[in-house]
């Protein structure tokens, strides 16, 4: 549980016991680089549409978040400004894909390893003292952790944020859990493609007089984690 830090006047973030294993695992899943992934952008767009239909408005941003030393949104959808295209299609989004671990609520979702619905982020002191409220005008949050099916390592989250308060209810929790499963399906798909690519990388010939190394690909499957 977050503890209050009197020097900052805020609640410290939770511990992240999976961090080291996550950093080790992500390269084998094809997710080592901080870069937008079109499959996850599409997932975020579909989540925004489904969540908007549920709550009856379109003031929603949605993310697929991989968490390391900071947070990176490999999938991102932001509501369209009046008279314009979605901000997810503009260069300004480059900086908005990254967030420190001290902001937002995904680190808490990751830590609790189950869905976190916050109808009103001001309802409890430990949630309300968050800079994402003032920076992004967030009033409501709904997130679910992405827990790797093979290793049990928590990798990140799928989440929705809103600039108005929402009553997520059971339907909201079931919705975000469904999109979390879809996110894990995509992670499995990306990992399988990455592993297939790695197995077919041509070996570079060793310099004369130096034997070619024996490459052990067993670790790529993730079975040692």
Query: What percentage of the chain reaches a pLDDT higher than 90?
Result: 59
The pLDDT of residue 96 is 84
DSSP letter (8 states) at residue 161: E
In a domain, 145, yes or no: yes
In a domain, 224, yes or no: no
Q: Residue 214: is its pLDDT beyond 80?
A: no
Give per-residue burial for 3-31: e unless 16+ CB within 10 Å, then b: eeeeeeebbebbebebbebbeebbebbbb
In a domain, 75, yes or no: yes
* Tokens 């939770």 found at: 14
User: Average pLDDT in the 17-35 region?
Assistant: 96
Q: Residue 87: is its pLDDT beyond 70?
A: no
What confidence category does residue 212 fall into, taking pLDDT thresholds of 50, 70 and 90?
Answer: very low
Angle between helices 169-199 and 38-55 (to 10 degrees): 170
Sheet with 71-77: list strands edge to edge: 98-99, 71-77, 60-67, 154-162, 140-147, 116-118
Asked whether the beta carbons of 40 and 186 are under 8 A apart, the reply is yes
The mean pLDDT of the chain is 82
In a domain, 222, yes or no: no
Neighbours of 34 (CB within 10 A): 14
Q: Residue 46: is its pLDDT beyond 50?
A: yes
* CATH code of the domain containing 26: 3.30.450.40
Among 62-71, 76-85, 117-126, the minimum mean pLDDT is found in 76-85
Among 75-84, 143-152, 173-182, the minimum mean pLDDT is found in 75-84
Alpha-carbon span 216 to 223, nearest angstrom? 13
Q: Residue 51: is its pLDDT beyond 80?
A: yes
In a domain, 216, yes or no: no
The model scores a pTM over 0.85:
no
Domain count, the chain: 1
Which residues lie closer than 8 Å to 220 by C-beta, 6 or more apart?
Answer: 28, 195, 198, 199
Q: Please name the helix (run of DSSP H) or strand (run of DSSP E) that holds residue 55, with its range, or none.
A: helix 38-55
In a domain, 170, yes or no: yes
Among 10-14, 34-38, 76-80, the minimum mean pLDDT is found in 10-14
In a domain, 32, yes or no: yes
Alpha-carbon span 182 to 189, nearest angstrom? 11
Q: Which domain holds residue 105?
A: 12-196
In a domain, 94, yes or no: yes
Exposed/middle/buried for 66, CB within 10 Å: 0-12, 13-18, 19+?
A: buried
Alpha-carbon span 177 to 193, nearest angstrom? 25
């Amino acid at each position: 549980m977050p503890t209050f830090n009197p020097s900052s006047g805020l609640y410290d973030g939770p511990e992240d016991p999976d961090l080291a294993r996550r950093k080790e695992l992500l390269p084998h899943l094809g997710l080592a680089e901080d870069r937008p992934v079109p499959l996850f952008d599409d997932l975020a767009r579909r989540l925004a549409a489904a969540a908007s239909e549920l709550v009856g408005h379109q003031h929603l941003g949605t993310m697929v978040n991989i968490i390391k030393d900071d947070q990176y949104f490999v999938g991102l959808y932001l509501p369209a400004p009046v008279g314009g295209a979605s901000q997810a299609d503009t260069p300004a989004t480059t900086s908005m894909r990254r967030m420190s671990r001290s902001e937002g609520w995904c680190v808490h979702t990751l830590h609790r390893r189950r869905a976190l619905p916050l109808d009103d982020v001001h309802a409890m002191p430990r949630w309300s003292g968050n800079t994402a409220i003032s920076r992004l005008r967030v009033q409501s949050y709904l997130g679910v952790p992405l827990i790797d099916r093979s290793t049990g390592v928590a990798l990140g989250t799928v989440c929705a944020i809103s600039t108005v308060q929402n009553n997520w209810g059971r339907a909201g929790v079931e919705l975000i859990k469904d999109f979390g499963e879809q996110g894990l399906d995509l992670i499995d798909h990306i990992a399988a493609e990455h592993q297939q690519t790695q197995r077919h990388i041509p070996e570079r010939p060793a310099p004369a007089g130096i034997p070619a190394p024996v490459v052990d690909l067993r670790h790529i499957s993730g079975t040692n984690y």
